Amino acid sequence: MASDLRPNDLREDLTVVPLRHPGRWFSGTVILLVIAGLGWAMAEAQIQWEDVPGFFTHPVMLEGLLNTIVLAVAAQGGAILLGVVVALMRLSANPVARWFAVGYIWLFRGLPVLLQILIWFNLALVFKSISIPMLFEVPTNVVMTAFVAALLGLGLNESAYMAEIVRAGLSSVDAGQTEAAKSIGMTPLTTLRRVVLPQAMRVIIPPTGNNFINMIKGTSMASVIAFLELIHAANNISSRNLEIMETLFAAAAWYLVMVSLASIGQHYLERAYGPR
Amino acid sequence: MALVEAIGVRKSFGHTEVLRGIDMEVERGEVVCLLGPSGAGKSTFLRCVNHLETIDAGRIWVDGVPVGFRSHGGKLYELREREAAHQRRDVGMVFQRFNLFPHRTALENVMEGPVQVLGRGRAEVRAEALALLERVGLAEKAGAYPAQLSGGQQQRVAIARALAMKPKLMLFDEPTSALDPELVGEVLDVMTSLARDGMTMIVVTHEIGFARSVADRVVFLVDGAVVETGTPADVLDNPQQPRTQQFLAKVL
Ligand SMILES: Nc1ncnc2c1ncn2[C@@H]1O[C@H](COP(=O)(O)OP(=O)(O)OP(=O)(O)O)[C@@H](O)[C@H]1O
Ligand SMILES: [Mg+2]
């Protein structure tokens, strides 16, 4: 389309008509209406909203919160350490180590976490005691508390994922970096610690953060073996007063708080290890 | 004894033999330029001198020590990676693609070896590292990260990083090949002054001008074998072998 303006006209003060976005106004209005409708439904629902804050800070709920945090952090921390070891085995020159790593990942990633938790918790049914000959021997049902079973179930499954994440991170670092480190006389361990891992972090941190957020929520599976995490805590409270939804909402609020904090933490970690 | 002595060095990757029996001597303080067509095995030989590759046959000695081995009771024992790392302290290497540590500043790159490998005190190492950066003309870039430096500046930091280990020998693998033409000079200047100061150097390069003015000896490598060696004047201006003549006709 030819312009009806000439270059000289552009020097004058012309009225500029900004582009209109009717579609945005329409979709925005629809979204706001939907939200308003949901809010109205919540207000109309037969929920004792005024009871929720009390459950939020109920001593049993707080105990469940603490247990949830301890379980999630311990399982994720253990998974990271194990994951690094398995990833190094996966990348090692030793074929036995490589095969072991592949099998480990296949097994612990392949089974549902819930199933793994149940198997650990019921281990006493098939092994009466856990022992290393001549070193120690303990009865299985003493060691395998709900916490330990949940820790193993969640942690081992996560360690298989961490192994793959760490492996991807290590492989992402240019081979020239290792050569440069070697050329100034660095040992393999120092090279890993000072050169390769810090650079692999950029690749490792984002998926690890996502997995940790999943881990926080995954701890809820420990409720099936009566470990006192948030959901089990909520059930304990509501079994006395029958305010099931109110206690579940209080637990839900705690999950959102934890997940939000974890996301903020991940943001700062990513910035600390981000590209220069 | 020469600082570097290589005898009958052979190396294969799979079924292709890349080094077919290389003999070479480098005296203390000598600068040797390795020339030759692409794929001749120049990089591979350099990497063998630093034990970044293991050799299949032959032997390389650096300062009387067999590279990659420990001699004991008349036998040679292959080194573990930890022990090989110890040997590499004495040999500096500069790579075509710089390979600076991107997560550390120029100063930290230079300090990394003395602090982490030699376990020396930071304060003392810092002063030395600053002096080395000054020497390569980058004192004011001490706090810069590699990504904030030009290719020529990165390569000069890489040279300082290698020098920080006070090596007996410096290996350069096409140190200017990844640089824009206008940045080549600043790196060659640093290498020239290093040579003047008596550093023993093996330099793989396509910079014939540098070889002519700085090298004590030029070694011409084709298909994994030395075809001609001599002073720059002999090899570059009066080549005897047809392969050398062909190659020089192309690059000059
Ligand atoms: N890690 C490796 N695996 C297999 N083949 C290799 C490896 N490294 C080098 N080669 C082969 O060995 C031969 C010599 O390579 P080298 O890099 O030493 O040559 P070069 O003389 O440095 O060549 P250029 O001038 O291109 O750098 C080439 O054919 C190359 O493909
Ligand atoms: Mg090469």
Residue of A216, A178, A207, A214 lying closest to A194 (CA atoms): A178
- Identity of the residue in A185, A188, A195 whose CB atom sits nearest the CB atom of B165: A185
- Nearest C-alpha in B relative to A201: B103
B169, pLDDT greater than 70: yes
What pLDDT is stored for residue A7 in this prediction?
Answer: 65
How many whole angstroms separate alpha carbon B130 and alpha carbon B137? 10
Q: pLDDT at position B185, please? A: 93
Whole-structure pTM over 0.90, yes or no? no
| CA distance linking residue B13 with residue B53, whole number of Å | 10
Q: What percent helix, strand, coil does chain A show, rounded to 5?
A: 80, 5, 20
Sign of CA dihedral B60, B65, B67, B73: positive
B200-204 and B31-35 strand pairing: parallel
Nearest CA in chain A to B118: A185
User: How far apart (Å, rounded) are the C-alpha atoms in residues A123 and B105?
Assistant: 53
Q: Strand B75-78 and strand B91-94: pairing?
A: unpaired
Check if the beta carbon of residue A88 is closer than 8 Å to that of residue A143. no
The average pLDDT across B21-33 equals 96
pLDDT tens track for B127-148: 999 999 999 999 999 999 999 9
CB contact under 8 A, B82 and A187: yes
Q: Which of A21-25, A59-63, A127-131, A159-163 has the lowest mean pLDDT?
A: A127-131
Residue B114 CA, ligand 2 centroid: distance in Å: 28
Contacts of B101 in chain A (CB under 8 A): 177, 180-181, 195, 199
Find the closest chain B residue to A275 by CA distance.
Answer: B103
What does the alpha-carbon distance between residue A108 and residue A224 come to, in Å, rounded to a whole number? Answer: 20
Of the candidates A196, A203, A200, A199, the residue with the CA atom closest to the CA atom of residue A182: A196
pLDDT at A3: 66
Total Cβ atoms within 10 A of residue A69: 16
Inter-chain touch A184–B103, beta carbons under 8 Å: no
* pLDDT class of A132 with cuts at 50, 70, 90: confident
Helix pair angle (A113-121, A146-172), 10° resolution: 140
Per-residue tokens: B74: 């008349």
**Using one digit for the tens of pLDDT, what is the confidence trace for A241-256?**
888 999 999 999 999 9
**B-chain residues near A187 (CB < 8 A):** 81-82, 85, 117
Could you identify the residue written with the tokens 């004047």? B233
Q: Which two tokens stand for residue A34?
A: 């939907």
> Cβ(B134)–Cβ(B156) under 8 Å?
no
What are the tens digits of pLDDT across the range A29-46? 999 999 999 999 888 888
Give B-chain residues touching A190 at CB under 8 angstroms. Answer: 116-117
pLDDT band for A2, please (50, 70, 90 cuts). Answer: low
**A187: nearest Cα among B215, B79, B61:** B79
Cβ-contact A216, A64 below 8 angstroms: no
Q: What is the pLDDT of residue A273?
A: 81
Instruction: Give chain A positions within 8 Å (CB) of B50.
Output: 182-183
Residues in chain B: 252
Query: Using CA atoms, how far apart are residues A102 and B62, in angstroms rounded to an integer?
Result: 41
Instruction: Let me know: does B122 contact B111? Beta carbons within 8 Å.
Output: yes
Minimal Cβ distance to B85: which of A185, A195, A198: A185
User: Region A216-229: what's the mean pLDDT?
Assistant: 94
Q: What percent of chain A has pLDDT over 70?
A: 95
The upper half-sphere exposure of residue B202, i.e. CA atoms within 13 Å in the direction of its Cβ, equals 29
| B123 pLDDT more than 60 | yes
Q: How many CB atoms lie within 10 A of CB A32?
A: 10
ipTM of the complex: 0.93
Lowest average pLDDT, out of A86-95, A132-141, A186-195, B12-21, goes to A132-141
pLDDT of residue B250: 85
Q: How far apart are CA B169 and CA B114, in angstroms?
A: 16
The percent of residues in chain B predicted with pLDDT above 70, rounded, is 100
Average pLDDT, chain A: 91
Give the minimum alpha-carbon distance from B226 to chain A in angstroms, rounded to a whole number. 25
Answer whether residue B61 shows pLDDT above 70: yes
Instruction: Find tokens 């790159």 and name the residue.
Output: B109
- Whether B181 and B207 have beta carbons less than 8 Å apart is answered as no
Whether B97 and A176 lie within 8 Å, measured CB to CB? yes
Q: What is the pLDDT of residue B72?
A: 85
Confidence (pLDDT) at A9: 63
Alpha carbon distance A12, B247 (integer Å): 67
Atom of ligand 1 nearest to the CA of B96: 27
Residue B22, pLDDT score = 95
The residue ranges of DSSP E strands in B28-110, in sequence order, are: 31-35, 57-62, 65-66, 69-72, 75-78, 91-94
Would you say residue B7 has pLDDT above 80?
yes
What per-residue confidence (pLDDT) applies to A16? 82
Identify which of B95, B102, B116 has the shortest CB distance to residue A276: B102
> What's the rounded Cα separation, in Å, for the pair B45 and B20?
11
Mean pLDDT of the A203-217 span:
95
* pLDDT at res. A127: 85
Q: Looking at residue A5, what is its pLDDT?
A: 66
- H or E element: which one contains B218? strand B217-222
Q: What is the model's pLDDT at position B149?
A: 96
Helical H runs in chain B? Answer: 42-49, 81-88, 106-112, 122-135, 151-163, 181-196, 208-214, 232, 242-251
Rounded to an integer, the average pLDDT of A62-91 is 96
Please give the average per-residue pLDDT across A152-170, as a whole number.
96
pLDDT of residue B103: 93
Cα A204 to Cα A172: distance, rounded to the nearest angstrom: 10
Cβ neighbors of A144 (< 8 A, separation 6 or more) are A120, A121, A123, A124
Q: Which of B188, B194, B178, B243 is nearest to B212 (CA)?
A: B188
Distance, in Å, from the CA atom of A199 to the CA atom of A169, rounded to the nearest integer, reads 8
In chain A, % of residues over pLDDT 90: 72
Tokens of A162: 């961490």
Under the banding of pLDDT at 50, 70 and 90, the label for residue A14 is confident
Residue A129: is its pLDDT beyond 90? no
Out of A243-252, A266-275, B165-174, the most confident range is B165-174
Cα-Cα end-to-end distance for chain B: 35
Could you tell me the CA-to-CA distances from A12 to A5, A19, A135, A242 in Å, in that order? 11, 21, 94, 75
**Cα(B210)–Cα(A275) distance, integer angstroms:** 36
CB B58 within 8 A of CB B10: yes
- In this complex, do A184 and B86 lie within 8 Å of one another by their Cβ atoms? no
- Which pLDDT score is estimated for A12? 64
